[in-house]
Structures are given as structure tokens and as C-alpha cells.
A and B are shown apart, each in its own frame.
Chain A
Amino acid sequence: MLYATLEGLKRFNIPHNFNVVSIITYYAQWIREGRLKVDSSWNTEGLKFTVQDPCKLVRQGFGDPVAEDLRFVIKQVCGEENFIDVWPNKSNNYCCGGGGGALQAGFTDNRRQHGKMKFEQLHATGADVVITPCHNCHGQIKDLAEFYGGKWQTTHLWNWIVKALVR
């Protein structure tokens, strides 16, 4: 929806008096300002995290800055040492293979074949958790893990912020 709004405003040159900002940018800003207090001390087992850069959010959307914010938040939440980045990453990351309606439109074999590359990339990190701040990516990556035998847990970002909240 974020991308559709952005692209729509741009393409149809719609006058507007508001900014479109990703919630991730706000998470990062609030953490930096100390308004959102998180602490990674919960992660005593050293769960390893990696991330998916959603195409619409990063590559086609806000580019590297939002990808940096995303990583900043994850590192604050899970501990700097527990974050393993994928390669290539940020604006140059691979597509999950589930977007553009692929996840909903059948052709499951093709979709999974496309996603194989994403699976192998994520698998190479050895992470226990893959954070996917996009519903589409979430669905695809969860399915890929089940289908190809990935051992990670696929989740959104907010779940872990909740876990790390300082009460």
C-alpha cells in the first residue's frame, strides 16, 4: 500500500500536502530519540537474525536509507553481534519471488523455482530468524522455508520490538 500510494502520487502527479514515510523509519527515529526503549538483553541464547529487503520498500521505494534503518532497528532489538546480513543486500538484494500477485495466483512450482535463489541466500546466513517487513515477502519466505527445508522462523519486525521493549 505504501508503494502504491507513493507511485500513484508520482505517476498521476496528485497534489498532496503530506509525506509518505515507512513505519520502519519511525521505529529507528524513535529508538534514536529514546522514545522507544528497546534492549537486546532478552537474547541470552544468541538467536541469529537476518533480513529481507522488500522490493517495494527498498529497491523501488526509499532505497538504502530505509534499509539502513531496518538493520539499525533489528540490531537494537536482537543485539549487534546476532545480526548476519545477506549478500547482496539493501537496494541490491534479491526479490523474494512472491510479489506481483505470484503468491496468490497459482503457478506454485514456478514461484518456488524463482524463490530458490532467495532460499539459498537466506540459508547461507545460518540465521534462526528471518525478518520480513512485508506481508508478501513473509508469505513467500515462510513457504520457501517449509518447502525447501529451511529451519528458520519467518516473522515481521514488530514481534521482536515487542519482545525487546523495556517495561
Chain B
Amino acid sequence: MIGGGIAGVQAALDLANSGFLVHLVEGTTSIGGKMSQLDKTFPTNDCSACILSPKLVECGRHFNINLLTLSDLIALEGEPGSFKAVVRQRPRYIDPEKCIACGLCAEKCPKKVSNVFNEGIGERKAAYLSYPQAVPLKYALDPDHCIGINKPGRCGVCAKVCPAGAINFDDTAKEHVLEVGSVVLALGFSPYDPSSLDFTGYGRLPNVVTAMEFERLLSPSGPCMGHMERPSDGREPKRIAWLQCVGSRDINRVGHPYCSSICCMFALKQAVIAKEHAHGEFEPSIFYMDMRTHGKGFENYYNRAKDNGVHFHRARVHSVIPAADPGNLQLRYVDEQGQVNFGEFDMVVLSTGLQVGKQTLAMAEMLGLELDADNFIKTDSFNPVATSRPGIYVCGAASEPKDIPQSVMEASAAAAEAGQIMAPARWSETSKKVYPAEMNIHAQAPRIGVFVCHCGINISSVVDVEAVAAHAKNLDGVVFSQCNLFTCSQDTINQMVSIIKEQGLNRVVVASCSPRTHEPLFQETLRDAGLNKFLFEMANIRDQDSWVHQLEPEKATAKAKDLVAMAVARVRGEGALPYNTVPVTKSALVIGGGVSGMTAALSMAEQNYPVTLIEQSECLGGNGRKVYRNWKGDKFLPFINELTARVTTHPQISVKLNTEISDVTGSVGKFITTFSDGHSFEHGVAVMAVGGQAYQPEGQWQFLHGINPHVQTLLELDQRFIDEDATLGEVKQAVFIHCVGSRIPERPYCSRVCCTHAIDSAVRLKELNPDMDVFMLYRDVRTYGQRERLYQEARAKGILFIRYDLDHLPQVSEKDGQLVIHAHDPIIDANVIIHPDMLVLATAVQPRQQTGVLSKFFKCAVDSQGFLLEAHMKLRPVDFATEGVFLAGLCHYPKPMEEAIAQAKAAAARASIILAYDAVPAESVTAVVTPAKCTGCGLCVAVCAYNAVSLDENGVSTVNTSMCKGCGACVAGCRSDAVTLKNIGNEQIMAAVDAAFM
């Protein structure tokens, strides 16, 4: 796995969790990539670090992920299944085994360096941690700037202050030769550098910043701690302009003909978030060519931004120059009426596009990979994650500009492809930890051990740790207490295991840093010592005590004593909990026989899992059979026919046509699905690929469709292309209307595919008859990513684009059978009358009506439009909140075939993770009902998000442990105090409260 951004991390986790050893090679000191630099993410406005961190921590701690930071792949030879990869690891100069991330080296380091993580805004030291949540949480010395490295014998302050002796100025580069079955590239992108675009003033005017720089200015971990300040004078900006397409869609100055796909949403998000950051009045303005909000939830976001006072100007700004008021900026632009306008702003943000990084080019050359015309790594329409070299896969922005959900989907898809190659070797390279038998503590009196951590001087310089340990010794149930310099160091961990055994401890409290990072480590230590891991509590005396009360050591010590007493009180009443598991039936059900369903089925079958594929109609292929070709000119039918043949002849796939679902019971690991023919099927996982359907034009969007024979939809035109209808070449004038049924109040989403589809169809008509006049009536042209080339080609072929808006809908009428179209061209501000002999409607993509019914069978959610709703729009794009069920294709959101294929493979990868195990873990901290107290009101049933609670035949609440996630909603909801969470019950909480106030 090359690259430790979000795509690389996702692919590594998917592969490691499905039974493969993964070497994750990252060039910098820590994983996280671009996503770790973001403040918030669209369209959910989640904190980027908050949703990313758990994945990074999981990656860093994973037993089967070998994290190689500061490393580069320098050579690769061999074949798919048996490559030999040479990885060069540069020296870190700080031993990660010893570093405890106390930060003293950075604090005392005398050498200040531009802060790369903050995009060069502000400074960091030559001894540094790139960002607070970095994984691995280990410091490094910057060899370009460190005095001690460059002038041996000089400086060396860090070595003197490091309490762990981790500094090693003599560290050297290492070479690792790795035997791998497959290589996945997640090389990411580098933002376009706008320095050469002098009209933007970037680099000369301090208040002109790039989108990434602005993101750091907004971020709480950024240079101004999340207070929005402009660089020139630290004033809070009141008017900010975002300039779109800087470095994208520009063949004149930049040489990037493609659209960067994400910047419209990026700017919208920044405008909305900046407004939240601002105190008092704030005016965000976005200068754009087309707003491209083509993803799930994006159009709604755009509409909300408009309603919330974000100003939109359809203009490409001519120049940014200093205004009379110091620091302010004057923008000169021409509006749609052709008038020159000036606008004054406090700050300008350049929505810089995405481009291929230098390292990607070098890597592609070294590996002999083909690149496309824009230097992105070339992929195939029908195999969107495969590179030109077998066994090497690519995911994320290295193959085309794309957003995070799409990158995450591709990451899982690449994992599926790599997993297919390596399937015979599953579990052969991985190691699995074996724990000693667990001691039964049931009838034992509590024997609690307390370990108080110095954390170097992080805690002990403020808190009197010896006094805390002495205090702990006198607490009820405590039989042992001691202080450790570093409780998490490997030697202390080993010591802890022997102390637990020697002292016969049956409960443990660690008073140290934070359970956020260290609880799993200590819980594992308990298991190593033969204790149930739930007999553990942590007292946070660093993050929440010594770090925040540095000036009041006495009070901090008193607080530490209270925190330890509370933890002891809690752990005293805790019991061993079962490590719940659910056995896995190793087979999959795929619902829907379109391209997505077939792809998912084939991917799982290739990994040797039996799959049943059901399709409600009498043939496989779905919507794909109705489409002529994609924007790259690849025809669909030959591909679909081949795919169908592979699916129907695959020994692991059983296809059931004309079949629907009549009932589903069970949950992850074991579902039992009954089909319409009465048969039932037991399966461990399910993939929903139930497709979508074309909107049938009606009302004001009907445009004489079904009345005048010359009016047809895109799919109807595609059928004529497929049938090679010779009369198409005789058409003299054709008109396309975009957004028929999309982006309107009833359907407030963009159908994503139709701009590209319509323009490609128009180009096809021009191919058939170059003299044909073709008009496109559009709202915003959304040929995102490299599809932009098609738009350029269309204009070069003379196809005319006329914009309309909802206040000026095209009017379609007929006179003696002849179509007459009235439209308004806003550029020439004139009415246009066209008499075409063909009108084509680019109709919306809708979810199928059955989607809602099907979703209920598997307890999956649907969104307000009836599309299936994934577990998380950003980072879990193919999972449902319901475990064991996955989704792919049009039922999720309109998407072109290459994206549907990637998503289907991703769904297969995610499903394979479950199928790789004989049993899957289930939550241990679950809710339990005291039947005697239950009044049967059913409130717990109503509030449970996981359908885990139900009323039994006696009207008493019961919890299905395998579905319970331990969220506690039912506990809070119960009016009779009948539901509690194991180990987090009233008795533990009240005991802790008592201890605090004793």
C-alpha cells in the first residue's frame, strides 16, 4: 500500500481486516494525508480530524499493518501474486519505540522552520510532530533544518531534554525488501500552485490565500487556533471572495483542461463554515463558471448556502488588485450583462484545483504505468481501479480528481481487486494473537491494582504522583499501587502482566494520559495476564489534569486523587463481560442483477465465497443495457454481455431471475432470506444493488414527450444509437434540454450523469451528421473531472450552449407537427426560437419505488429522496448502519458506470471482511432489561436506532445482544429504570459520584 492518506488507510484496513498482511508505505512522518489538514468536510460539516482519527489509530495499532513512515517504494519486480518491493526508509532520528510524545524536544528545539502542515503559515520546530493527532504519535527531526544533524556536535538540546533517550543523531536509512502479492497506489494529489497566475495577486498580496491555506486558517489546530484572521493584520475578515477554477478548466494559462470536481463544494463549505466562525456580519461571495454540486447531498448544501446569504456571481474574475484601504482587495469582473464591476473584499480565497504530484509521475515511470493526457494514472472504464500493469491498483485522486467518498470507495475497490489476487494466501501471512485462559473472578472479593504514570514529566512535574499512589493504596479494595515512569512502555507493560499474576489482581486502574489513545493497549495487557479486559478503568490525570492545571499543582494533585478514587469506585463494581461473537455463514446475497450487482457478485465469488444473485426481471444487465456508451467512447453492451456470461457461468454464483424478496430475518453473520418462490437462503452478508430508474417527464417538464414523436429521452435516443438507426443522420437540427426533473423542489438533487450523457449524445449526433445544428439548453454544465474534455470537444464541434434558469424555462410547442422551442439566451439577452426536428430530454435518475420496501427488510435507512442511505456519507460510502449489509450503484445515488463498478467492488471488499472470519465480534457493553421493572411502554423500542430492542409476547422489553451497540439510548429513555448498560449501570456511576464527593 503506497500512500497513507484516507484512501491508503482505508484500503490498508480493508485488506488487513480480511486476512492479509499490509505494508503501508508513507512518505512523510505520519499518515492522514490531505484530509488531516481539513477543518470540516462537506456535505455533513463533520470535523475532519474527528472522523479521520479513529481510522488512523486503528491503522497504527493494527496487528497486520506494518506502518513504514518516511518511506518510498524504490523498486518493484515480479508478477501479480509474487512481487518483490524495495522500500527505502529515511531516518527519523527519534526512536519511535522510545518516544513518548511528550513534546519536550520540540519545545526546547532552537530551530524554527516554516510549518508545512499549516501550508507554510506560521512556524514549527526542527523537532516536530506534524499535527496533534498524528499517527504514529512520534516526533521526528527535520534533516533539512536540524542543527544537530547538519553540524554534528552542535546543539543537541533535544537529546539533553528527552526523558526517554529517544534522540539518535546517527540514525540511518534502511532498506526493506518486501514480498507482496499486490501493490495498491494511493498517491493522492498536490494542490495547484497559483503563484504563476499573477492576476490573482497570489504570493504578492498577503490576503490572497489558497483554499488549503484558508482551511488551515479555519482549523482549530491551525495557526490561529480556529479564529478566522487574515494574514496581513490579523483582522477578522468581513467580506471574503472565493475564486473558482483556479488551476482547473484553464487551457490558456494553466494547461489543465479538466475540472477538479471538488472545489465548488469545497468553496461552498468554506463559505458556510467561515460564516459560522465570523462574529457579526459576514458576506461570503463565490465567483464561478458553473456550480458543480453533483454529489449526494451537495445540491441541498448549495441551496442552503444560497438561502443563508452566500452571494454567487457567475463570472471569471479578471484581476485582483490592492484596494485603497490597506490589506483590502479590489476585484474586477464582468457580469452576465456584460458590465464591468468592481468589488472590494477583505480577503480572497483561490479555489485551487487538483493536479498530479511530481512523486506520482516519478512513481508511474519507475513502475512503468501508463498515464492519461492529464498525467493522471490511466485506468479502464470498466475496471476503474486497475492500472496498465497487472497486479498494481490505484485509488483516490491519483487517477482523476475526486472527493473523499469516491476515494474511499475506490480504496475498498482496490482492496477487493488485491484480495482477489491474494485470496489463496488469506490468513497465511497474518499473525493472530493467542491469549491465556481467562481467570474466573466471579466469587472473588475485589483485588484492585492501581498504576500511576509519571508520563516522563508530563504528569509528575505538576501532580505529586507518589502522593496519588499512596492515596490509592488506602482505597477500598486496592491491594497494590505503584508509580511508573512510562506505564505504556513495553517493559512496564510486561511488568504489569507479572504483577497482576503475582498479586492476584482481579481489577486494574491506570491513572495516566487518555483512554482515547491508550485504553485498548491496557485492556490488551489485562488479557495477556488472563483477566477479562472489561475489569479495567482509566483515570485521565494528564490531558484533563496536569496539562490543564499546570499553575496549580496542589489542586491538580487533589484532582488526580479524586479521579483515581472515582475510577477505583467504578471498577470495584464491574464484572467480566462476554466477548460476544456471531458465527458467520460464509455466503453472500446480492440483490439486483445490474452491472453493480453482477460486479459485486463476481468480486466475492472470485474470492471463493458462494454468492446468490437475485434479479426481479427476466434478464441480467439492468439499466446498463439501455445506455449506448460512456464519455470515453467505450460501448456498454459488449462489456455487459461479457460480464453476464462470466456471472452466469461462475461456479460460485447462483443466479435467480424473476425473483424478489418476501422476508428477511437474522442479522450480520446469519441472515435468512425468503424469496418470492418460497425458497429461503442463509447468508452472512448482503449487498443491495437494486438500481434506479429514469424519471418519466410530466407536467411542466413533459415538453410534449409522448405527444410529439420527435421528443424523446436520452435513453430512448440511446436505443436508436444501439439499433444504429440510419434516420438519425438525417436530422438537421436537434435540441437537448438538461435537468429535466432534476434540481427542482420536488427532486432537489443533481442527477450527476445527465450533463455528460447529453453532451456525449450530442457529440454522437455530430459524428453522424457534422452539419447538424445542435443546441444544449442547460442550467450549469456539470462535466466534472476529466469529462470536461467532452464539453470542450462539443463546443469545438460547434454545439451551442444556451443557459436557462427556473424562471425562464424553455417553452416547447408544436405547429402542424413541427416543434417550436422558445428560450432566452442570457448572454446576448435575447429570446431564441428554434425549430428542431428532434428534442432530447435529459431526464433525472430516480430511486426505484421498491427501494423503500427492500430497505425495511434489512433495516436500512433511505434518504428523503428514497435513495439508500449509507452509514456515513464521507467515510463509509458503501456500508449501512446495519452491519453486514452493503450498497452499490444507482440505488445509492445517480452515478456513471465506472463509479458504480468501483462502488460494487468496494461493497464486495467490505462484505468480504465479514466473510473472512468464522465469527464476527459483537458489542460486549450491551443493554440488559430487568423484566420485573419493565412496564412494557415500548419507549426503548422506539428510541433504539439499531432495532435491537423489542417487546416479547408478554409485552416485556428484550434486547437482542447481537444487534445492540451499547449506545444507551434505551437506558436514558426508560421511565421505569428497567434498562441498564453492563458495567455502566447506576451502581457504577453512583459509586464514582460518591467517591468524588467523599
Contacts and interface: CB of A to CB of B under 8 A. Distances in A.
B321 A90 contact: no
Interface string B304-340: 0000000000000001011000000000000000000
Question: Quick one: which of A64, A88, A92 has the most chain B CB within 10 A?
Answer: A88
Interface residues of B, number: 6
Contacts of A91: 198
A82 to B, nearest CB: 18
A64 B199 CA distance: 13
Interface string A77-104: 0000000000110111000000000000
Contacts of A90: 198
Contacts of B319: 87-88, 92
A88 B197 CA distance: 12
A11 B196 CA distance: 25
Contacts of A88: 198-199, 201, 319, 321
Interface in B857-903: none
B198 A87 contact: no
A88 B329 CA distance: 12
B204 to A, nearest CB: 9
Contacts of B198: 64, 88, 90-92
A74 B321 CA distance: 22
A92 B198 CA distance: 6
A125 B592 CA distance: 69
B199 A87 contact: no
Contacts of B199: 88, 92
A90 B196 CA distance: 12
A64 B319 CA distance: 17
A64 B198 CA distance: 10
**Secondary structure class of chain A's binding surface, majority of residues:** helix
Nearest to B329: A87
A88 B204 CA distance: 11
B344 to A, nearest CB: 13
Contacts of A92: 198-199, 319
A11 B322 CA distance: 38
A153 to B, nearest CB: 24
Question: Quick one: which of B199, B201, B319, B321 has the most chain A CB within 10 A?
Answer: B321
A59 B612 CA distance: 67
Nearest to A121: B321
Contacts of B201: 87-88
Nearest to A88: B319
A96 B321 CA distance: 18
A142 to B, nearest CB: 24
Nearest to B205: A87
Nearest to A92: B198
Interface in B274-328: 319, 321-322
Contacts of B321: 87-88
B587 to A, nearest CB: 65
Contacts of B322: 87
A92 B199 CA distance: 6
A53 B478 CA distance: 83
B800 to A, nearest CB: 31
A87 B199 CA distance: 9
Contacts of A87: 201, 319, 321-322
Nearest to A87: B321
B531 to A, nearest CB: 70
Interface string B180-204: 0000000000000000001101000
A58 B321 CA distance: 19
Nearest to A124: B324
Interface in B225-244: none
Interface string B429-458: 000000000000000000000000000000
A87 B321 CA distance: 6
Interface in B195-221: 198-199, 201
A92 B205 CA distance: 14
A151 B229 CA distance: 39
A122 to B, nearest CB: 13
Contacts of A64: 198
Nearest to A94: B319
Interface in A37-66: 64
A130 B641 CA distance: 73
A17 to B, nearest CB: 32
Interface string B900-935: 000000000000000000000000000000000000
Nearest to A86: B321
Interface in B147-201: 198-199, 201
15 contacts: A64-B198, A87-B201, A87-B319, A87-B321, A87-B322, A88-B198, A88-B199, A88-B201, A88-B319, A88-B321, A90-B198, A91-B198, A92-B198, A92-B199, A92-B319
Interface of A: 64, 87-88, 90-92
9 closest residue pairs by CB, A with B = A87-B321, A92-B198, A88-B319, A92-B199, A87-B322, A88-B321, A91-B198, A88-B199, A90-B198
Given A88-B198, A88-B319, 13 more contacts: A64-B198, A87-B201, A87-B319, A87-B321, A87-B322, A88-B199, A88-B201, A88-B321, A90-B198, A91-B198, A92-B198, A92-B199, A92-B319
